[in-house]
Chains A and B, each alone.
Chain A
Amino acid sequence: MRRGGRGVLALAVVAVALLAPAAASAHAYLIKTVPSASTEVDVSPPVVALTFDEAVEPRFAIISVSDKNAHQVTAGSVHRAAGNPDTLIVPLKPNLPEGWYLVYWRAISVDGHPVQGAFTFARGPNAGPAPQFVIPHISQTATTPKLLVTRWLVFLSVMIAIGLFFLRIGIARPVARRIEGTSLRSISVAFVISSVVGLIAIPVYLDCSTAVDSLRSAWDIGALVPLFRITAFGRGYVDMEICFALFCVAAWVTLWVDRPEREHRSIAELLAGIGALVAAAAVLVVPGASGHAAQTAPRSLSLLLDWLHLISGSIWLGGLIGLIVLWQSLPSGRRVGALSVVIPRFSNAAFVSVLVLLGTGTWATVLHMPLLSAMWTTSYGQAILVKIGLLLAAMLLAAVNLVRTKPRLVAARSRPELGASTTVLLRRLISGEALLITGAVFAAATLSSLAPPAAALAKEGSALAKVGPGPISTTVHKDGYTLKVVITPNKAVAPNSFAVQITKGGAPVSGANVTLTFLMLDMTMGQQEYQLKETKPGLYSHAAPALVMVGHWGLSFDITPKAGEPLTALVVDHAAG
């Protein structure tokens, strides 16, 4: 019946996964600015207004406007435009002198990641040549060591608590009945400690993270608490604390009513156990719902994979920690007997968990990675590789336990001389396994703090050339056409000239319709499109501040000749500051 129930639940979840809508973009992106980027205005603008594709919280946003000497010209704080929550406004000092100004902005996306960009405008009519501005550096603060460690603590404590509870209630329970004089109290105590650590770690992480995002001190708690539920990320972690607290209550009650000396559970034990297990399942939904999984298409499938990944990881890691605790607490005379009961049962659960962990992890990686090379070319991919390496090493130790230690423990029931050496080997292997998985959880905490590679990165493989940084003049060939691409000075946040000379058989191709699309490859943001004008026969150009941030850009030339088939030529450009 229990299996049947699981099957129905799995079918329901899969049905929801298939019916749910696909994902939208992961990050807020800028769609309009006032003044327009790289334009000259003859009247001093009273404000700078930035319109995003979604509502952005002004308390987490920075808009810096500075002149060529890096002096701030803002005259107040950032606020929302009346009647338009998608637009942020910062007032400027009156009567700005003529010259060029740099606007640098930073906002927090719904998944908690900072997004940023910059553009310039000129106050005319005699603004002069545009200077090369130095872009202010505000790091991608989701990956500071303090935040990483607190995030790691959250993951570890929650996973260990849930795994310990599962071990105590589901796997180790028969030991107390079968091996006289043994107690499971040490596992219960370890569970209570890890649950208390988790209850403290979640709000501490939320506080530190909110402090970094809103550029306040982590001790400014009175100002930070009202900000907790402003972003989807913050709401997720508040919900996680609520769910985890409910799980702790249910689990503590379950341990209180549990009488492991009885073979069959009472109704009270069953009710409490079910309550605690569903609460644990609810807790492990939250990290995915407030992180990357909720922003990766198809979202329902990503959430399901993330949830199963966390459940299996919790059972494995928490179970190992529980076994170490049990090993230490058992008197040496009863150790072999007790472990020979627990280890075979845990091995089965861990084996299934490892399979689920492998399957869901692989599938989720495929969903997150737009192309294979992103595994080693992006920080996100590198963190996944480290995690895979650590988990594979842990699996190797688990395999040794499965094929060597487990049979020896079972054999030790009839051949006691095998017991002592086997339990020592077991403790070493389990300790190593737990240490490696703890490292893998750190890698998971790191990669979930990094922005995943943009889906647009998949286009990099079809690029005809990879160019930059610095001025470029490169020639590519496509469908019988020769394209000479020239970009100067090819610097981020500066006005750049983009030109393409199109020839076929040595003759210029005139009268074509040429569109140039800019796509940021390092993070998800909106694309810009410009029509190129023919300035000489076959030469099409445009000047624009299109490279609004440092990084890799996909420059897609969509060419429709007067006669002949249209063609698209993609060049990947690296723009430096």
Chain B
Amino acid sequence: MSSSSRTPAGAWARLVMAATALGAGTVAVVVAVLLIHAVLG
């Protein structure tokens, strides 16, 4: 992993994975906000 990450392809793969993680976090926040909105409605 460490050696592949030094290649441009490896770096892009890591960035795509990181963006996926950020997207997952964002969706989780949206779900939580919608839940709070429904509760406090």
Binding site for B on A (CB under 8 A): 20-21, 232, 235-236, 239, 242-243, 246-247, 249-251, 253-254, 256-257, 259, 266-279, 281-283, 285-286, 289-290, 294, 299-300, 303
Contact = CB atoms under 8 A, between A and B. Distances in A.
| Chain B contact residues: helix, strand, loop or mixed | helix
Q: Kindly state the interface size class of chain B when it binds its partner.
A: 20 to 34
Nearest to B30: A282
A276 B40 CA distance: 26
A246 B17 contact: no
B21 A271 contact: yes
A272 B18 contact: yes
Contacts of B27: 246
Interface string B5-41: 1000001001101111111111111011001101110
Contacts of B39: 232, 289-290, 294, 299, 303
B17 to A, nearest CB: 5
Given A242-B31, A266-B14, A276-B21, 19 more contacts: A232-B39, A242-B28, A243-B31, A247-B28, A249-B21, A250-B28, A253-B21, A253-B24, A269-B18, A274-B22, A275-B24, A275-B25, A278-B26, A278-B28, A281-B29, A282-B29, A285-B36, A303-B39, A303-B40
Contacts of B35: 235-236, 239, 285-286, 289-290
B18 A283 contact: no
Contact of A257 (B14, B26, B38): B14
25 contacts: A243-B28, A243-B31, A246-B28, A250-B24, A250-B25, A253-B17, A256-B17, A257-B17, A268-B11, A268-B14, A268-B17, A275-B21, A281-B32, A282-B28, A283-B28, A283-B32, A285-B35, A289-B32, A289-B35, A294-B39, A294-B40, A299-B39, A299-B40, A303-B36, A303-B40
B35 to A, nearest CB: 5
Given A266-B14, A268-B14, A243 B32 contact: yes
B15 A267 contact: yes
* List of 9 A-B pairs having minimum Cβ-Cβ separation, nearest first: A275-B25, A275-B22, A282-B32, A275-B21, A272-B21, A268-B18, A279-B28, A250-B21, A282-B28
A272 B17 contact: yes
A277 B25 contact: yes
Contacts of A21: 40
Contacts of A281: 29, 32
A303 B40 CA distance: 10
Residue with the highest number of chain B CB atoms closer than 10 Å, among A235, A250, A277, A289: A250
A285 B38 CA distance: 13
Nearest to B2: A259
Contacts of B32: 239, 243, 281-283, 285-286, 289
Contacts of B23: 275
Contact of B31 (A239, A250, A303): A239
